[in-house]
Chain A
Amino acid sequence: ETGVTQTPRHLVMGMTNKKSLKCEQHLGHNAMYWYKQSAKKPLELMFVYNFKEQTENNSVPSRFSPECPNSSHLFLHLHTLQPEDSALYLCASSQDIYRGDGNTEAFFGQGTRLTVV
């Protein structure tokens, strides 16, 4: 138990569906992240939020839409996805995003395994 909880753990959706991934952290952290993990590829950073404000959008297609209503919750809204979007989506949090104070280690959830059919 890392203090970061992701739901659902598994999701199968059609290309015309709309679904959302949820992430919740109980660590009092200020920063939250979405990563995409595809087979045989490095983890790809998708979005970064710090104090509920988006600080990074790593050229992610608009069919992925993040939402951060507060520092403890992060959503990833999905619509009209493609089969190549099938992957493990990992949420992470850290105390802060700035390296100056050293509190930048990330704590990860168990991920949502997404399959687009």
Chain B
Amino acid sequence: AQSVTQPDIHITVSEGASLELRCNYSYGATPYLFWYVQSPGQGLQLLLKYFSGDTLVQGIKGFEAEFKRSQSSFNLRKPSVHWSDAAEYFCASNNDYKLSFGAGTTVTVRA
């Protein structure tokens, strides 16, 4: 069965610093991969997605992610974090017609 793992439960980063969130998937074939963000009290918003082709994908809000088959990873990055990026981030994959989500990583941004 497909599973998605987010090793980091909580990350604290200074405003203006870079951010990288880890995501690992376990599945034989190339999955469809997504990153979602959830602000407090809100639903999930899609940041970016990977289906095929270029392994570096650009998303909204200045985020990007890189698919690395050799490492079974799809890490999310942002070069310079803003205070408004404080939220919970979910990695997800879709292989057999349903999304499987990781447990999420909470990002705290300090001034």
Residues on A close to B: CB < 8 A? 2, 4, 6, 33, 40-43, 45, 48, 55-56, 90, 92, 97-99, 102, 104-111, 113
Q: How large is the interface on B (under 10, 10 to 19, 20 to 34, 35 or more residues)?
A: 20 to 34
Contact B51 A102 (CB under 8 A): yes
Partner pick for A90 among B44, B94, B104, CB 8 A cutoff:
B44
Instruction: Give CA–CA (A90, B45) in the complex, Å.
Output: 12
Instruction: Give CA–CA (A111, B38) in the complex, Å.
Output: 11
With both chains docked as a complex, state the minimum distance between the C-beta of A49 and any C-beta of chain B, in angstroms: 12
Of chain A, the residue at the smallest CB distance from B3 is A42
Of chain B, the residue at the smallest CB distance from A100 is B97
Contact A55 B97 (CB under 8 A): yes
Instruction: Give CA–CA (A102, B94) in the complex, Å.
Output: 10
Residues of B within 8 A of A48 (CB): 97-98
Partner pick for A43 among B45, B51, B90, CB 8 A cutoff:
B90
Type the 1/0 row for B22-62, where 1 means its CB is closer than 8 Å to any CB of A.
00000000001010100001111110010100000000000
Instruction: Give CA–CA (A33, B82) in the complex, Å.
Output: 32
Instruction: Give CA–CA (A79, B103) in the complex, Å.
Output: 28
Contact A98 B97 (CB under 8 A): yes
Instruction: Give CA–CA (A6, B32) in the complex, Å.
Output: 26
Residues of B within 8 A of A98 (CB): 97
The 9 A-B residue pairs with the shortest CB-CB distance in the complex, in nearest-first order: A108-B43, A97-B97, A43-B101, A108-B44, A110-B43, A42-B103, A104-B94, A102-B51, A109-B43
Contact A2 B97 (CB under 8 A): no
Residues of B within 8 A of A107 (CB): 46
Determine if B108 is an interface residue (Cβ-Cβ < 8 Å). no
